Amino acid sequence: MGLELYLDLLSQPCRAVYIFAKKNGIPFKLCITEVLKGQLLSKEFFQINRLQKVPVLKDGDFILTESSAILIYLSSKYQTADHWYPSDLRARARVHEYLGWHADCIRGTFGVPLWTQVIAPLIGAHVPEEKVERNRTAMDRVLQQLEDKFLEAQAFLTGQQPVAVGYDLFEGRPRLAAWRERVEAFLGSELFQETHGPILNILEQAVNQQVPKPPAEVHPCMLLRISRIP
């Protein structure tokens, strides 16, 4: 049985895994698992991942969760170019350093607007303005850390070649915008647009109030996530 990837491209970790597999020509079956349709709560998906989260990799009878672990597994199994996951100990440690920081700071901070701008209105939840403002402040702080600590004067985050990480759009920060353009050029605009199309479309649909409401059974999980916004 071939490699299967359970992904929802609204999710940044899923986009990172999808981009990596596609860019490196790794053959896989794409199993779309849509969060807004409640598919994470299905009995079928529970058999795949009891944590009820995406992304998930299924390679025969081997199942792996967490995007960082999946990226490392793919780079090792398919022996991708060394710049993705370097063989040099210190260079590899830098990749681990960033991935750990990314999961804690980028994901925990930049995932909030999807919940406040798209999901909360769909299920009738209210997010206090002070939380929204705190998140804006946190995003500014994290972007500054990304620029000063990880990008510095390099072409890419951990050196002169791209590594297996996801990224978002940047406004008002020319160094980060130039970095994003270099990454997009490396990936190719077709793959970039293909991967980011769903998230860009849903933000536009949300503005026009065209996003279908999630089924009622997923509202409690969504409300719990929204309540945890700091």
CATH number of the domain to which 168 belongs:
1.20.1050.10
Last residue of a domain, one of 77, 108, 124: 77
Which is more confidently placed, 229 or 152? 229
Q: Are residues 129 and 204 in the same domain?
A: yes
Joined tokens for residue 127:
């997010």
109 and 168 assigned to the same domain: yes
Rounded to a whole number of angstroms, the CA Rg of the chain reads: 18
| Matching residue, tokens 């794409």 | 30
Looking at the domain assignment, is residue 83 inside a domain? no
Tell me if 102 is assigned to some domain. Answer: yes
Residue 101: how many other CB atoms lie within 10 Å: 15
Instruction: Of 10-19, 51-60, 85-94, 184-193, give the lowest mean pLDDT range.
Output: 184-193
CATH number of the domain residue 39 falls in: 3.40.30.10
Task: Provide the pLDDT for residue 156.
Answer: 67
Over residues 118-156, the pLDDT tens digits come to 999 999 999 999 999 999 999 889 989 988 988 876 766
Distance of CA 145 to the CA centre of its chain: 19
Residues 107 and 33 in one domain: no
Helix residue spans in the chain (DSSP H): 12-23, 43-48, 67-77, 89-101, 107-110, 112-114, 120-122, 129-145, 174-187, 189-207, 219-227
State the chain's mean pLDDT as an integer: 88
Query: Do 199 and 103 share a structural domain?
Result: yes
Q: Is the pLDDT of residue 171 over 70?
A: no
Q: 15: domain range? A: 3-77
Q: Which residue has the higher pLDDT, 187 or 128?
A: 128
